[in-house]
Structure formats: structure tokens, C-alpha cells
């Protein structure tokens, strides 16, 4: 996937296929200065095929482009902190059944701060529902990037963590897991990880 050209999130042409994707930040929001304009994604995800038995990209449907369009809409709503033109993406269509393994590897490799699994600034990929049906707290992403109506219309909804704590958590995470700044470093990490199991098996 990292060999794919990065494209602006402002323009997402419809294409067929399911698979994995990554979002990259290039703006000047201070909290993200360590990853801005680098090859380290702020979020990675997957799109499952429309038909779990699909063999071709056409049969998989336009799931990848549809998922990217959903993310674009969410970013647009956070107008006070984010600008859509500061985001780029990569996407890779994969054979049906491989998307989950690919996503898991990307999350483990990059530990992106917006992914739920990392537990830092989670909530970006969340879908809204009526306030009266919600018993959970406002996600850190919605606290740091207000704009989605369903996450703020209920005055009783509390933040899961304060903005101050979220900013501290992001800084600590990026210090503990320094962002990979180039494609060469990413490929080197990948090869090092592949070499480890091979050397273990050779013993």
C-alpha cells in the first residue's frame, strides 16, 4: 500500500474494490506536528466487500471509495480544527478475505493515533445515532475536533477525557512510538520484521 501514490481527500473518484487504506495529515494543527507531512498515517482502516464470496473488484463493490467518502464528510464537519485540504490518502484493493489481516498489520506497524485499537484519540470512525440511545461518553476525537452534531447535541453527554488529557496522551504516544518519516524507513521496518521470523525458523 505504501507504494501507492498519495491522493488528496478533497477528490475521491468512485472506484471498485474492497481492501485497506490510510489517511495522512499535512496541516498545521499543533497537536499533530510530529506526523504532519510525513509518511506516517493518522488513521488506517479497511472496507469489507459487498459480497463475502466476491472474486473480482467489481463484485466487491465500491466499498473502499465509499468508506473514504464517509471519512471526508466527518473531517469537513470539524471546521474549527481541521481542513479537508490537509488530508491525503492511499488505498489498496486486496483479495476478499485478506483485508482484516492487512488492516491489523498496518495498525500494529503504525499505531495511528486516530485508530480505536490504539486508544489515544479514538472515535473518528464512529457512526452517530440519537442522543437518547447513547449511554457512552463523547469520544476523544469528537472532544478534540467538535463538529459532528450527534456527538454534541446532548448537553448531558460527558467527554471520555478532557482536551488537555487527550493532547498529553497524543504527545506521550508519539514520543513512545516515533512516527516513520519516509517510505524507505517503513520498508526497512517491514523487512526487519520479516527477517526476524525467518531467522528464528532457520535456527
The pLDDT tens digits for 27-59 are 999 999 999 999 999 999 999 999 999 999 999
DSSP character string of 92-111: EE--TT-HHHHHHHHHHHH-
| Torsion over CA: 182, 118, 128, 157 (sign) | negative
CB atoms within 10 A of CB 46: 21
pLDDT at 168: 97
pLDDT at 129: 53
pLDDT at 198: 47
Q: Three cell numbers at 131?
A: 442522543
The values of phi and psi at residue 37, to 5°, are 60, 25
Per-residue pLDDT reduced to its tens digit, 104-126: 999 999 999 999 999 999 999 87
What residues are paired with 187 via a beta bridge? Answer: none
**Closest alpha carbon to 89 in 28, 156, 20, 182:** 20
Q: Three cell numbers at 42?
A: 493518522
* SS3 state of residue 172: helix
For residue 20, give the H/E element and its range. Answer: strand 19-25
Residue 39 in contact with residue 182, Cβ under 8 Å? Answer: yes
pLDDT at 83: 96
Taking the CA atoms of residue 159, residue 160, residue 163 and residue 166 in that order, the dihedral angle to the nearest 10 degrees is -170
Give the whole-angstrom CA distance, residue 22 versus residue 163.
25
Domains of the chain: residue spans and CATH:
7-202 (3.40.1440.10)
Give pLDDT tens digits along the chain (203 positions): 888 889 999 999 999 999 999 999 999 999 999 999 999 999 999 999 999 999 999 999 999 999 999 999 999 999 899 999 999 999 999 999 999 999 999 999 999 999 999 999 999 987 655 545 445 789 999 999 999 998 888 888 899 999 999 999 999 999 999 998 888 888 888 788 777 654 554 44
Entry pTM:
0.89
For 150-170, letters b (16+ CB in 10 Å) and e give ebeeeeebeebbeeeebbebb
pLDDT at 102: 93
Amino acid at each position: 500500500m505504501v507504494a501507492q501514490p498519495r491522493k488528496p481527500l478533497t477528490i475521491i473518484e468512485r472506484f471498485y474494490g474492497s481492501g485497506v487504506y490510510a489517511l495522512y495529515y499535512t496541516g498545521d494543527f499543533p497537536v499533530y506536528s510530529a506526523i504532519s507531512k510525513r509518511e506516517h498515517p493518522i488513521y488506517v482502516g479497511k472496507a469489507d466487500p459487498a459480497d463475502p464470496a466476491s472474486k473480482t473488484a467489481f463484485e466487491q463493490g465500491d466499498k473502499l471509495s465509499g468508506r473514504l467518502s464517509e471519512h471526508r464528510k466527518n473531517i469537513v464537519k470539524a471546521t474549527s480544527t481541521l481542513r479537508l485540504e490537509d488530508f491525503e490518502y492511499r488505498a489498496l484493493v486486496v483479495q476478499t478475505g485478506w483485508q482484516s489481516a492487512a488492516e491489523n498489520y498496518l495498525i500494529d506497524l503504525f499505531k495511528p493515533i486516530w485508530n480505536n485499537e490504539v486508544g489515544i484519540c479514538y472515535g473518528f470512525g464512529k457512526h452517530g445515532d440519537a442522543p437518547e440511545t447513547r449511554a457512552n461518553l463523547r469520544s476523544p476525537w469528537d472532544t478534540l475536533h467538535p463538529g459532528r452534531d450527534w456527538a454534541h447535541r446532548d448537553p448531558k453527554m460527558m467527554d471520555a477525557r478532557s482536551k488537555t488529557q487527550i493532547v498529553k496522551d497524543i504527545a506521550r504516544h508519539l514520543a513512545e512510538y516515533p512516527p516513520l518519516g519516509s517510505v524507505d524507513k517503513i520498508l526497512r521496518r517491514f523487512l526487519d520484521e520479516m527477517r526476524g521470523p525467518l531467522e528464528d525458523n532457520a535456527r
